[in-house]
Amino acid sequence: MDKISVMQDIDELTDTYCEGCLVRQELRKQRGKSGAHRFCIEHCSVGQQLQFLGQELMKIYTP
More confident residue, 22 or 2: 22
Q: Say if residues 24 and 36 touch (Cβ distance below 8 Å).
A: yes
Tens of pLDDT, residues 21-60: 999 999 999 999 999 999 999 999 999 999 999 999 998 8
* pLDDT at 63 > cutoff 70: no
Tens of pLDDT, residues 8-23: 999 999 999 999 999 9
pTM of this structure? 0.83
Instruction: Show me where the domains of the chain are located.
Output: 3-61
Q: How many helices and strands, by DSSP H and E, does the chain display?
A: 3, 0
Rounded Cα gap, residues 48 and 21, in angstroms: 15
pLDDT in the model for residue 61? 74
